A and B are shown apart, each in its own frame.
Chain A
Amino acid sequence: MHGIRENTQIFIFVFAFFYLLFLARKAAHHQVDVYDVFMLSMVAIVPGFFVIFPRIVYWIAKIVGIEFPFVIMFGFLFAIIFLFIHRLTIKIHRLESENRLLIQETSLLKHSLSSDRAK
């Protein structure tokens, strides 16, 4: 099967199965949102897909002129992780701003309440 050994396939399938199960449980308990589950599950799905359809990797490698087909898989994973980090960075910044505003509004409200009480 195009140079991928059986034990490698088993290893990747077992990893993919347990990781997807872990993510599914997290999503079911609302600990991770669906978009994050989708992005993170790619870490299991992409290697699984390339193990099931190794010809596709060779085909893409030939088209883009990459000598080692496994680089394609890492390239895909890198791109997905980059997208994920990009989205998280923006999300963290937005949450920081919202948190700051919340602190300001709460502090202002606390000040107004204590001023009213003093009157």
Chain B
Amino acid sequence: MSIVDQAVLVIIPCYNEEISIGPLLEEIKACGMNYATIVIDDGSKDDTFMIANQVSPTIRLLKNLGIGGSVQMGVMYAERNDFDFCVQIDGDGQHPPSEIAKLLNAFRENPCSIIIGSRYLLHDTFRSTWARRFGSQMISKTIHYLFHGCNVTDPTSGMRLMDRKAIKLFASRYPHDFPEPISLVWALSEGLSVAEVPVQMREREYGRSSIIGFKPIAYMFRVISYIILARVVLSTRCSRGRD
């Protein structure tokens, strides 16, 4: 079965994204790739659920669980509905749906359990703040040193593809604090393979990121502590290619 025939679910976690969610879902449809979508509304206070539900299956979490809880919800949905792949993208429109094909093509060329869409592989997409870039770089270096040369340039990227192995792992347990880098480390510890592909990302048009000012630095120290703990405590098997 070719990758084109396999079921792909696009998971879109969102919170108060009434302005961007509609255009984003239209953009996914316009790709013409017949991706299945699931919007996880993390208890928004605005009309996100109402708008998303008109265009796509939408699950409204009864209580705000944060990005980790929302993504895990989407992965649980993928597992129970027997999807082969799921692709996580942000609900704020930062990740252009046209880039999803790059992740799928990367899987076709080099099948890995997790394929991350990286902002930093080619440096040709928008630049985030210096504090964010610095924090991300430090996290990458820590992963590189602790997991025997795993080269991930954008561990905090919210755009990633997961295959069945990763879906199975993350449906059963998924970190709720700093989910992107920590889930990556958990996957590496479980022996799942990870790869990256350069993608274009856009600056968010509406709303404001919660990680601003010096927060990325504090974020970095906390994430690095978690990574070290995961390396010390969990089983450590890292592979860059498929087993």
Q: Whole-angstrom distance from the CB of B16 to the nearest CB of chain A?
A: 17
Contact: B176 with A107, CB < 8 Å? no
Contact: B65 with A111, CB < 8 Å? no
A104-B76, A107-B61 known, 4 other contacts, Cβ within 8 Å:
A100-B176, A108-B59, A110-B60, A115-B57
Number of interface residues of B (CB under 8 A): 15
Bound state CA distance, A30 and B238, in angstroms? Answer: 49
Contact: A103 with B65, CB < 8 Å? yes
* B63 contacts chain A at the CB level, 8 A cutoff: yes
Contact: B63 with A103, CB < 8 Å? yes
What are 24 inter-chain pairs, A to B, with CB distance below 8 A?
A100-B65, A100-B69, A100-B176, A103-B62, A103-B63, A103-B69, A104-B61, A104-B65, A104-B69, A104-B72, A104-B76, A106-B62, A107-B59, A107-B61, A107-B62, A107-B73, A108-B73, A108-B76, A108-B80, A110-B62, A111-B58, A111-B59, A111-B60, A115-B57
Q: Is the interface of B mostly helix, strand, loop or mixed?
A: mixed
Q: Name B's A-contacting residues (CB within 8 A).
A: 57-63, 65, 69, 72-73, 76-77, 80, 176
Known: A108-B73, A108-B76, A108-B77. A103 touches B57 (CB 8 A): no
Which partner residue on chain A sits nearest B38 by CB separation?
Answer: A111
Bound state CA distance, A100 and B77, in angstroms? Answer: 15
Q: Name A's B-contacting residues (CB within 8 A).
A: 100, 103-104, 106-108, 110-111, 115
Q: Is the interface of A mostly helix, strand, loop or mixed?
A: helix
Contact: A103 with B59, CB < 8 Å? no
Which partner residue on chain B sits nearest A97 by CB separation?
Answer: B176
Contacts of B73 in A (CB 8 A): 104, 107-108
Bound state CA distance, A107 and B74, in angstroms? Answer: 11
Bound state CA distance, A111 and B65, in angstroms? Answer: 17
Q: Whole-angstrom distance from the CB of B143 to the nearest CB of chain A?
A: 25
Which 8 pairs of residues, A with B, have the shortest CB-CB distance? Answer: A111-B59, A107-B61, A104-B73, A103-B63, A103-B62, A107-B59, A107-B62, A100-B69
Bound state CA distance, A110 and B41, in angstroms? Answer: 13
Bound state CA distance, A71 and B176, in angstroms? Answer: 41
Bound state CA distance, A111 and B63, in angstroms? Answer: 14
Q: Whole-angstrom distance from the CB of B233 to the nearest CB of chain A?
A: 15
Q: Whole-angstrom distance from the CB of A45 to the nearest CB of chain B?
A: 36
Bound state CA distance, A110 and B59, in angstroms? Answer: 8
Residue in A100, A107, A115 whose CB lies within 8 Å of B60: A107
Contacts of A108 in B (CB 8 A): 59, 73, 76-77, 80
Q: Whole-angstrom distance from the CB of A48 to the nearest CB of chain B?
A: 41
Contacts of A104 in B (CB 8 A): 61, 65, 69, 72-73, 76
